[in-house]
Amino acid sequence: MEVPQPSAATTWATGKSGSALSFTSNSSVAQVPHSDSLVMDDALTVEAWACPTQITWSHPILEKGATGTDEYGLFAAMSNTGSPPSGPAARVDPYYPGVSSTGSSAVLPTNTWTHVACTFGGGSLKVYVDGVQVAETTGINSIVPSTNPLRFGQNTYFGMYYKGLIDEVRIYSTTLTAAQIQADMNIPALTIHSVGRRDHGENRRHDGLIGRFR
């Protein structure tokens, strides 16, 4: 089973539970090659514990994308050029109405662990912070598929970089409820699993889990 492969500038450090990926420079990135199980259609949940060391602009936790077209992404912060940073956000690229995003206006604290999640289902994209819904946008149809890799901590196309720690990432092909997200927050992933195939192991928390790492 394959785990995210960090670049030379990305290391493993003590995390929220077990080990976390540590991003300290614009060269820091971890990546998982494209897999059919990472292609989402009309349902998705992404979760992570994030401990950013700085919030200055847009900071991707993870994105399924590489060249400006992202199937889906979870951000510690998102901002337009020249605007102050906002809070956690999510983005999907559906067939209609085009790239759609939503996020919180409350900026994450730095050097503090916060649980961040997004869900997509029923035409709705939602963002959760510490298990509480903080943002939503509706009227979105199914996500456009691609063969792009899954990348952690970096989007060089738009010049977005994450600095800090990322831990306890979970990706589902289903739309979790707030209660299910809260359950994941309180029970750490017990073993390192690959991202990129259906996970049917004994530590699976909810149906649709396709990968996680700690």
- State the burial class of residue 188 (Cβ atoms within 10 Å of its Cβ: 0-12, 13-18, 19+): middle
| Tens digit of each residue's pLDDT (9 = 90 or more) over 100-119 | 999 999 999 999 999 999 99
Averaged pLDDT for residues 80-87: 79
CATH number for region 5-213: 2.60.120.200
Query: CA of 7: how far to CAs of 24, 114, 170, 172, 186, in Å?
Result: 11, 24, 21, 25, 30
For β-strands 114-121 and 5-6, DSSP reports them as unpaired
Q: The whole model's pTM is what?
A: 0.87
CA 124-103-192 angle, 5° bins? 85
SS3 81: coil
Length of the chain, in residues? 214
Of the chain, the percentage scoring pLDDT greater than 90 comes to 53
